[in-house]
Amino acid sequence: MAWAGYLVLTLTALLAGYLFWVRLTSHRLQGRGVGALARLFPPLGEGYGRAAIYCYSANCAPCRQMAPAIERLSRQHPNLFKLDVQEHSGTARQVGIRATPTTLLVENGTIIKVLLGAGAIRSLEVFLGSA
């Protein structure tokens, strides 16, 4: 029965490694231009100022949990854009979105911060000036 313990340990290590990889690759987006996102959301071009791109999936439980707050914020702030990664999978892949929900905070056409997970709603409110 010792093999079961090794199996659990191996699966746990693989999951932890994957989560570390997602976090590392997501934070590498900081400092990059919006590129492909500007084609979907033309106002994001240079000089737009502050904006946020909320990347979500309809199948994602944390995304569904955030949906009411995101809808409220999008009504208050025209600079909050929503990207369905299932509908625009090519763009999401090109940008480097590895997990949902991911929120990209953009200033003057450059990604300045990447927020991962459902707990990012408070940071998003502060960034957009709702707090």
Q: What is the pLDDT of residues 95-129, one digit of tens each?
A: 888 888 999 988 888 888 888 888 777 888 888 87
60 is catalytic: yes
Please report how the helices 61-76 and 121-128 are oriented relative to each other, as an axis angle in degrees rounded to 10. Answer: 10
| Average pLDDT of the chain, as a whole number | 84
* pLDDT at residue 47 in the model: 64
Classify 122 as helix, strand or coil: helix
Tell me the average pLDDT across 56-67.
91
Amino acid at 27: H
Q: How confident is the model at residue 87 (pLDDT cuts 50, 70, 90)?
A: very high
Q: Which of 37, 44, 52, 63 is catalytic?
A: 63
Q: Which of 44, 51, 60, 92 is catalytic?
A: 60
The residues spanned by each domain of the chain are 2-128
Residue 54: pLDDT above 80?
Answer: yes
SS3 content of the chain, % helix, strand, coil (to 5): 50, 20, 30
CATH topology of domain 2-128: Glutaredoxin (3.40.30)
Check if the beta carbon of residue 95 is closer than 8 Å to that of residue 25: no
Q: How confident is the model at residue 46 (pLDDT cuts 50, 70, 90)?
A: low
Residue 20: pLDDT above 60?
Answer: yes
* pLDDT at residue 38 in the model: 83
Residue 130: pLDDT above 60?
Answer: no
The pTM score is 0.80
Residue 131: pLDDT above 70?
Answer: no
